[in-house]
Structure 1
Amino acid sequence: MKIAVIGTGYVGLVSGTCFAAWGNEVVCVDKNTQKINALELGVVPIYEPGLDELVERNVAAGRLSFTCNLANAVKGAAVVFIAVGTPPRAGHGDADLSFVYMAARELAPLIDDNAVVVVKSTVPVGTGDVVEKIIGSVRKAGTFSVASNPEFLREGVAIRDFMEPDRVVIGVEDEHARKVVTELYNAPLEVQMTPIVVTQRRTSELIKYAANAFLATKITFINELADLCEQVESNVSELALGMGLDKRIGTSFLNAGPGYGGSCFPKDTMALLRTAQDYGVAVRIVQETVTANEARKRRMALKVMDALGGEVDGLTIAVLGLTFKPDTDDMRDAPSVPLIETLQRFGARIRAYDPVGIENAQQILSDVELIEDPYECARGADAVVVITEWGDIRSLDLSRLKTIVRQPVLVDLRNAYEPGAAEKAGFRVSAIGRSTSARHDARSSELLPHPADVVTSSRGASGVHCDVMGGSVDNG
């Protein structure tokens, strides 16, 4: 099947490449000539593990190509995906749909009869109706279809999420669209028995927002429980394990930390709130989630200050990890930004390290010394703060780290290190959701097994290993 994908951002490029990997002929189109020229030379503009190789392989096979010519891209295409950006409108919180509507206007006179236009961008309820009206203003009714097909790609594992999805959601208003889009997914996924959920178009549009708002709420819930754990001398990792093994709850997104960020959760929760307001519906849980998450990001700076006795003026803080999660270069709404800005207002000097996010961080952060080696970043620091649990950060030699810092203070905002390991190396540790009482922690370590050794068992069954350390539980 020939497919055109409008937009070569994160969603468009990953989706287009994966559709090509399934054997389709895919043309990705974008107005940014610099980006298209780079892609034609094999330079992928985003960081996503495995994407470079997948693009190269499918271009070589003749299944994937790139162009700035929209007419050529959509000519002969059975399906045209709109995968352009929908950033939040400044000062409003709702999604800016100008790129979606522009794409609809431009493709309307160019598509073949019976083409299905599929909105893959994350959009508010009713966007498909507007897209249909735009195209219908220049084409006869019944000669085209408009469908919704939201993406559920997690940065860092996007290719796997596309190739092995939990489900595929398709929103349609006519039988032709249902048949064509279902066929596109059904053949490659039928062996995996992946559920394909076909709904009304408006329901499909709402599913993406609802799913992300729920996951954001789950993250915020465990973060607030982590605060309670610190006060009652409990351990949030063990708490999350005990909760998550309940199949009704699940372990994903129960990893306490400095708050959620990225390109989806902050934007989608705000857009859902605005949609609810437009329809006169109160979604108070989502509202409280947004408020609590924003406050938490800045409150983490106070946690750093507390670890240093309440004063950071003139001190050097080494920040390890800048992106909102590992395996991405995405700095959008990253918790590191408000934390760093707050510490700077209190007079701290910031040095920072990230494996791949430094270039994007330079566009956002100011007066921060960005260093490409974690040990050099920590050299002479009064505190080391772990914000993103990259693999190379989790595997640091803590004993070596201890020898090069000015003060042995480690603020572990991702619980990236084994309990007791940093203390054994000589650090004073402040972690998330763990008691600050050294006596209690020591007593607990005598009485309880390490969480990673906990297994479930039934009548002597061997059990399942359950790792609750940072990075084993998806935190968005």
Structure 2
Amino acid sequence: MKKIGIIGIGYIGLVIVLGLVDFGNQVICLDIDDEKIEQLRKGISPIKEKDIDELLRRNIEKNRIKFTKDIQELISNSEIIFICVNTPPKEDGSVDLSQVISVSESLAKNLKDKKIIAIKSTIPIGTLEKINQIFENYGKKKNQDFEIAFIPEFLREGNAVYDFYNPSRIVIGAENPETIEELKKLFSPLNAPFIITSPNAAILIKYASNAFLAMRISFINEIANIAERFGIDIQEVIEGMKYDKRIGKDYLQPGIGFGGPCLGKDLMGLIKMAEKQGYQPNLLISILEKNEHQIRQIIYKIKSFLGEFLDGQIIRVLGLTFKPDTNDVRNSLALRITKVLKNDGAKIKASDPLGMEEAKKEINDVEYCDNPYDVAQDSNCLVILTGWKEFKELDFLKIKRVMKAPIIIDGVNLLDPQIIKNMGFIYKGVGRQ
């Protein structure tokens, strides 16, 4: 059993907390959000994830987790400290490291005996050198008072708990052999291959992995748009591609593009890192540009039916989160498209199974409905922007009866075009025929 400290209890932090405590470790968590701490102490998860509520309740009831707002209490009760704070993008796309730097200063100032500082937050190359310097500025010596490691996380929101317990690999970026062994022991119950690298290589693994996934999404969206021009159904193309072992089937789902808190942020962060070193990463830039183009393509599809000017048009939106099975609307392309439609004069009603409360913080002049059938009422066009299974299971004949015009723009290819067309709808997906 190890004594573990976790700083930052967001999506990554909370899942790691629950996983490590489930392995029998003693875990203490710190977050500056008072409301979040109080919720967690009551066994209420601030995030929506499959299986997370049951896992949290079970470990709270058994008093396996301690929550604190006191950095000294966390340090004194930890051997290994994980930094899991947010690293959002700045306006220019570079990484905002203010939270990581603030946490590092607090740790360095209060450290009294040797700790392993394991960073989970996504950080650009060069950050670890800054953190080492912070500790040295407070009189702490590497190898004697602290060790720094970078352990990237590859959790998918909506499947984060499953991904924690079933990782494809565990990357440990560290230099000290003893630190590496301690971290390997900590994660050994996961029975996954260990990839041991230098800290900066581990950082680049994280960025490169997310950039590659973003590339696949932009690529298949480009192919879908080409297929559409030739009257070819993109699903037939994907079916023929996915059996190639060099390609596989994952991240080949055309749609509105990639959003959320990771892919776009990390892609831009990698671009900025490269540019800072004097290299112009044209391929990475084109992936980002294609993603912006795809948003415009979806809006174009809507306007091709309703006209260039949307003043007075009644558009209904299904889906607000950046992906299904989460309440997260950070960098949600569904929200971005909804804002554009609203700003162009459309009258919007919207529904989402989990994301409406978060969406209201971003757009407060849209009518939100718990019932998707109410959303469709009197609409000129129904737009699907998040692929919730709840939407796929709707009675679309019932929806058709309450719409003014039976037009569906399926931005995530959730529905079967032929079934929907046979019901009398005018249907437009992404590369679907």
Question: Which interval holds the TM-score relative to the shorter structure?
Answer: over 0.9
In the alignment, is residue 94 of structure 1 matched against residue 99 of structure 2? no
User: Which amino acid is 1:29 matched to?
Assistant: L
Name the SS of the counterpart of 1:420 in structure 2.
helix
Equivalent residues of 1:308, 1:409 under 8 A apart: no
Shift of 1:309: 5.2
> Which secondary structure does the structure 2 equivalent of 1:125 belong to?
coil
Where does residue 234 of structure 1 map in the other structure? 232
The aligned counterpart of 2:149 is 147
What corresponds to 1:60 in structure 2?
Answer: 61
CA distance in 2, matches of 1:307, 1:394: 23
Q: Distance in 1 between matches of 2:397 and 2:149?
A: 56
**Match for residue 71 of structure 1?**
72
Q: Give the 3 Å change call, closer, same or farther, for CA 92–309 of structure 1 in structure 2.
A: closer
Q: Percent identity over the alignment?
A: 38
User: Which residue is 2:170 aligned to?
Assistant: 168
- Structure 2 distance, partners of 1:426, 1:400, is 12
Residue of structure 2 equivalent to 1:219: 217
Amino acid at match of 1:274: K
Aligned to 2:85: 84
- Is 1:332 aligned with 2:330? yes
1:9-408 pair list within 5 angstroms:
9-89=10-90, 91-111=91-111, 113-137=113-137, 138-143=139-144, 144-186=146-188, 188-190=189-191, 194-308=192-306, 310=308, 312-408=310-406
Structure 1 Cα separation of the partners of residues 405 and 59 of structure 2: 51
Deviations 1:251-277 (A, max 9, x none): 111000011100001111111110000
Asked if the contact 2:156–2:163 (Cα under 8 Å) also holds between the matched residues in 1, the reply is: yes
Code of the residue aligned with 2:385 in structure 1: it is: I
Structure 1 residue 156: Cα displacement: 0.2
Structure-2 residue corresponding to 1:7: 8
Q: Give distance in 2, aligned partners of 1:32 and 1:366.
A: 24
Q: Does 1:425 align with 2:426?
A: no
Matched residues in 1 for 2:109 and 2:181: separation?
A: 23
Q: Give the whole-Å Cα distance in 1 for the aligned partners of 2:25 and 2:66.
A: 11
Partner deviation per Cα, 1:309-328 (whole Å, 9 max, x = no partner): 55533110110011110011
Aligned to 2:245, the other structure's residue is in SS state coil
Amino acid in structure 2 at the alignment position of 1:349: K
CA contact (8 A) 1:36 1:66 kept: yes
Q: Deviations over 1:319-345 (max 9, x none)?
A: 001111001111111112232222223
Question: Aligned pair count?
Answer: 430
CA contact (8 A) 2:5 2:77 kept: no
Unpaired runs of 5+ in structure 1?
436-476
Over residues 190-243 of structure 1, what are the superposed CA-to-partner deviations in whole Å (9 max), with x where a residue is unaligned?
A: 3xxx11101000000111111101100110000011110110111111212211
Matching residue's letter, 2:286: E
Say if 2:318 and 2:372, in contact at 8 Å, map to a contact too. yes
Does the 8 Å CA contact 2:318/2:384 hold for their aligned counterparts?
yes
Post-superposition shift, 1:112? 5.3
Distance 1:407 1:13 in 2: 45
Corresponding residue for residue 449 of structure 1: none
Structure 2: 5+ residue stretches without partners: none
> Contact 2:306–2:313 at 8 Å: present in 1 too?
no
Task: Answer yes or no: is the 8 Å Cα contact 1:85–1:121 preserved in 2.
Answer: yes
C-alpha separation in 1, matches of 2:239 and 2:28: 45
| TM-score between both structures, scaled by the size of structure 2 | 0.96
What secondary structure does 2:362 align onto?
coil
